[in-house]
Structure 1
Amino acid sequence: MRLATAEISFSALAHNFNKVKQFAPNSQIMAVLKANAYGHGLVRIAQRLDQADAFAVARIDEALALRAGGLVKPIVLLEGFFEPQDLPILLANNFQTIIHDRSQLEALLASELDGQLITWLKVDTGMHRLGVTPEEFDDVYQDLLACQNVHPAIRLMTHFACADDLNNSKTQQQLGLFKQLVQGKAQQHCLANSAAIVGWPDSHGEWVRPGLMVYGVSPMLNCVGADHQLQPVMRLKTRVISIRQIKKGDAIGYGSTWQSPRDTTIGVIAIGYGDGYPRHAPTGTPIIVNGQQVPLVGRVSMDMITVDLGPVTEAKIGDEAILWGPELPVEIVAQHAGTIPYELLCNITPRVDYLYRE
């Protein structure tokens, strides 16, 4: 019996990529594959995104894994490089690097490379995480232009802090500042993440960089993927391994935190925080068992969770249980668990089987 399984739909992946093209028809697409393609499988997902113009990852080990998997498209390092000795590796593997700090600029200026790196200069327009300040932007830009190790086609980018909230004016402020800073610089621009692709069409530059929406999950507040005609790529599922009758007042699980208000049937499901299911998911978090939505009850254990199947049920041992997927959006589960879909998807552990389907 196959237990905890992440079922990945390539047809949903292709559908979502085409939706990105519909949202931003005039932009090149940099598909974001960091964190194991948001928990979906780095190389397998990249192999099916052959229409992408480039890939983006966070760190060099992810980029090297793509090259080892036979992927030849340009790869952008979203955190850039960390040591000067990384630079020859970047050049040899056709990796493109973001420059977000003066220390990276100084390393580039001091290096002797056998070719020129394509660089993306990131400016901090309000996220206050990575990026050169607006005050130093022009100086860093000019230094990059003068650097013999840098390809003259420098690309310019920023990152939005609140693009998932259409009622927040900060995105418009950041967009305005970026346009002011890059005025007169005839370079390619990249501003829009998934949320900006969906909600802020004025931010679509020569490049967009979709992440979450490629996997069929809404990047917007209080929405699910279907609201944007996206299809979930992952269905996380497992099996019922035990069914037992309990009496009113019986407690379930560690700490006896939940006591049954009635005589009922409890199903034990083979998944837990050891598989990546959130330990902090509270009683009432929905789960689909045998096609019916039932509530989680009691604490999440390492290997198991328990659900209330009701006083009368047709469920049986071996029945399929769906934790999230097309039938139950991961956004809904994340809301119950007090977290975000990104965390749930990225936390899938290695003991979960992956099953890829067309």
Structure 2
Amino acid sequence: MRQATVYIDSQALQYNLNRVKQLAPNAKVVSMVKANAYGHGVKDCLAALSATDAFGVACLQEALEIRELGFNQPITLIEGVFSLDEMSIVTAQNIEVVVHHQAQVDWLLEHKADYIAKGLKVWVKLNSGMNRLGFKIAEIKAVINRLKAEGLTCVLAMHFANADADHPLNDEQIRQFLEIKNDCAPLMASCCNSAAIYKYPELHFDYVRPGIMLYGATPFADKSVHDLDLKPVMQFTAEIIALNHIQAGESVGYGSTFVATQAMDLAIVSIGYGDGYPRAFVAPNTVAVNGQLVAVVGRVAMDMIAIDVTSLDVALGTEVELWGKQRLVDDVATANGTIGYELLCRLSNRPERKVI
């Protein structure tokens, strides 16, 4: 059987959740498990996150999966409902919604009585510069005041466009957020994602919304998970299925893009872009074998890669870590010209998954 395996470390996931609680001891934690728990598998992660205060997802389908798995924590739909008919479902399932445009407000008010009776909060999204979703500052105060007048409990929500960097828009987003929070008081508030949890402890308020940090990858370009005291949750491995020896001048893989400058030993590993391992690298890439980082040579194919194992003691079946504890996913992403979030989320269903 082809051995490509994704291991999910539940203790690491619990450790990272506890790290959030250490950093934001006075805020409730909304653990983001959208996109199949950032590619880690919702069904494989929820038990390890059971101590969270709530879950955050992108759409109703994701929320219903959590309910079907038997978890009863509050859930927030961060993009809200997409149609009126979804409102009756979210109310019945005790799911809270974000509202970011007027139609959603109208849909919510049609189900106001049931929503209030369930003790559900409505999250009102501010568009303070991200310019994706939300009410601009000129209109959001009226929306919040109306919802409060209708008897609804509101949470002011915002998303930073540049929480991972020093950018002038950060100050403007904070200014707008605090103005609304003060002018519409009393009002609960939430604006901190993973990066902002670290960067803005004074803005933790009522709820923090950790995502990537839960899974042991970094939200910062200049800080590793070790710098942030986080533990990688996913280890992605495959096995050596063939060994080759080539001479100087021989090439490897599609397009013959790699040509050996000296005699070398190659191992062929049962992994490729069909599994979600990235193909297009903008910088040299490595994998971990027996505790050492070794180079990937030639192009990544759908099902196989070649690695340089010259002078290493390897055999058929030797395990290769593509990313995980020795080769961080963030470093693979940097070599691929992307971010760890993308690599984690785009894994295919072909690798076997195991919870450890």
The alignment's TM-score, normalised by the length of structure 1, stands at 0.95
Task: Report the residue type matching 2:131 in the other structure.
Answer: H
Identity of aligned residues (%): 39
Q: Do the aligned residues in 1 keep the contact of 2:281 with 2:336 (CA within 8 Å)?
A: yes
* Cα displacement (A) at 1:241: 0.6
For each residue in 1:219-246, what CA deviation from the matched residue of structure 2 results, as whole angstroms up to 9, or x when unmatched? 1122211111100001101101111001
* Distance of 1:114 and 1:20 partners within structure 2: 33
For each residue in 1:234-268, what CA deviation from the matched residue of structure 2 results, as whole angstroms up to 9, or x when unmatched? 11011011110011111111111111121111111
Q: Which residue of 2 aligns with 1:118?
A: 121
For each residue in 1:78-116, what CA deviation from the matched residue of structure 2 results, as whole angstroms up to 9, or x when unmatched? 110000000000000001000011121122334576443
* Distance of 2:130 and 2:182 partners within structure 1: 20
| 1:170-209 equivalence runs, <5 A | 170-184=169-183, 185-209=185-209
Give the aligned CA root-mean-square deviation in angstroms.
1.5
Q: Do the aligned residues in 2 keep the contact of 1:283 with 1:298 (CA within 8 Å)?
A: no
Q: Do the aligned residues in 2 keep the contact of 1:55 with 1:76 (CA within 8 Å)?
A: yes
* Distance of 2:238 and 2:162 partners within structure 1: 35
Q: Which residue of 2 aligns with 1:78?
A: 78
Q: Point out where structure 2 has 5 or more consecutive residues left out of the alignment.
A: none
Structure 1 pair 183–283 and aligned structure 2 pair: CA distance change class (3 A): closer
For each residue in 1:302-343, what CA deviation from the matched residue of structure 2 results, as whole angstroms up to 9, or x when unmatched? 111111222x33121110100111111111110000000000
* Cα displacement (A) at 1:282: 5.0
Q: Do the aligned residues in 2 keep the contact of 1:283 with 1:297 (CA within 8 Å)?
A: no
Q: Do the aligned residues in 2 keep the contact of 1:280 with 1:337 (CA within 8 Å)?
A: yes
* Distance of 2:73 and 2:216 partners within structure 1: 23
| 1:1-358 equivalence runs, <5 A | 3-110=3-110, 114-116=114-116, 117-147=120-150, 152-165=152-165, 167-184=166-183, 185-281=185-281, 284-310=284-310, 312-357=311-356
> Paired residues, what number?
352
* Distance of 2:341 and 2:295 partners within structure 1: 22
* Distance of 2:155 and 2:199 partners within structure 1: 23
* Distance of 1:242 and 1:99 partners within structure 2: 55
* Cα displacement (A) at 1:205: 1.0
Q: After TM superposition, where is structure 1 displaced by more than 4 Å over at least 4 residues in a row?
A: 110-113
* Cα displacement (A) at 1:349: 0.9
* Distance of 1:5 and 1:19 partners within structure 2: 27
The alignment's TM-score, normalised by the length of structure 2, stands at 0.95
